[in-house]
Amino acid sequence: MEILRIENLTKTYGEGDNKVEALKNINLSINEGEFVAIIGASGSGKSTLLHLLGGLDRPTSGKVVIDEKSIYDYNDDELSIFRRRKIGFVFQFFNLIPVLDVEENIELPVVLDNEKVDKNYLDEIINILNLNDRRNHLPSELSGGQQQRVSIGRALVNKPSIVLADEPTGNLDSKNTREVIELLKFTAKKFNQTLILITHDTNIATMADRVITIDDGEIIKDTKIDN
C-alpha cells in the first residue's frame, strides 16, 4: 500500500543569476514498509528531496502526499506536529545534547511533546540498539557508532511511520557503517516503518529493497533489488 507520493515536485533556490533548480518535476510513489536508498552525486538534489519528504522545507511547486494528506497544505504549526508524529530523522551529525545522558537524549522528542514515555518501548529500542550498559552515559563518553545509535533511538522514540536518514554513516568507519544500516533496516522491518536512506555508498545502497538514482534534480534510475 502506498504511504508516500510525490507529484510534480519542483524546488528552486535563489533567483536571477543565483537560481538553482535543485529538483525538477519529480514524481515518485513509495509503499508502506519499503526500504528505499537514494543515491547520486554531491549537489544532485538528494538532501533537498529528503527535506521536502520530511516537511522540513516547502517546495516551489508540486505536492508531497503522505497517508493521503498533502503535507504542504498544513500551516507551519501543523507541519511541525506532522513531523514529530510521523517522521524520524537521522542525520550525518548526531546532534545529541551534551548534558543529557543516553536515555534522556532518546526520550527528548517525547518529553518536548509533553507526552509520556512508553518505558517498555524505550527499553526495547535501547536493547535493540545495544545501548543498555550505556543508558546513563553522556554523549562525550560514547564512540561515534554508539552516538549514532543514540540518535537512531531518538528518531524512533515517537514511533514514526517513516524514517528519513541523510548520510547517517558519513562520520563512521566501515564496520560501524554496516552495523548502523543493519540496525535501521532491522528496526524498520520490526516496527513496520518505511525507511528512506540517502547515501553515496553504492554497497550500502544495495542493502535496500529499491535504489533511486538522482542526477541534476531528476530521477534517472529506479531499480528494485532482490535481497
- Binding ligand ADP (rule: CB under 6 A), the pick from 9, 26, 36, 45 is 45
Strand pairing report for 162-166 and 87-90: parallel
Q: What is the DSSP string of 175-213?
A: HHHHHHHHHHHHHHHHTT-EEEEE-S-HHHHTTSSEEEE
Least Å from the CB of residue 88 to ligand ADP: 14
* 3-state DSSP assignment of residue 123: helix
User: How many binding residues for ligand ADP (CB under 6 A)?
Assistant: 18
Distances (CA, A) of 83 to 66, 190, 195: 11, 21, 15
Angle (CA) 40 173 161, round 5°: 60
Is residue 13 a contact residue for ligand ADP (CB under 6 A)? yes
- Binding ligand ADP (rule: CB under 6 A), the pick from 26, 34, 47, 172 is 47
Least Å from the CB of residue 72 to ligand ADP: 11
Stretch of 79-87, 127-135, 148-156, 180-188 lying at the interface with ligand ADP (CB under 6 A): 79-87
Is residue 213 a contact residue for ligand ADP (CB under 6 A)? no
Is residue 169 a contact residue for ligand ADP (CB under 6 A)? no
Q: Which lies closer to ligand ADP via its Cβ, residue 50 or residue 156?
A: 50
Is residue 46 a contact residue for ligand ADP (CB under 6 A)? yes
Strand partners, 129: none
Give the span between the Cα atoms of 113 and 129, in whole angstroms.
23
- Binding ligand ADP (rule: CB under 6 A), the pick from 3, 4, 36, 48 is 48
Residue whose grid cell is 528494485: 224
Is residue 82 a contact residue for ligand ADP (CB under 6 A)? yes
- 105, 139 Cβ separation under 8 angstroms: yes
Is residue 20 a contact residue for ligand ADP (CB under 6 A)? yes
Amino acid identity at 132: N
**Site mask, ligand ADP, residues 57-76, x = CB under 6 A?**
-----------------x--
- 25, 2 Cβ separation under 8 angstroms: no
Is residue 215 a contact residue for ligand ADP (CB under 6 A)? no
* Site residues for ligand ADP per CB under 6 A: 13-14, 20, 22, 40, 42-48, 74, 78, 81-82, 85-86
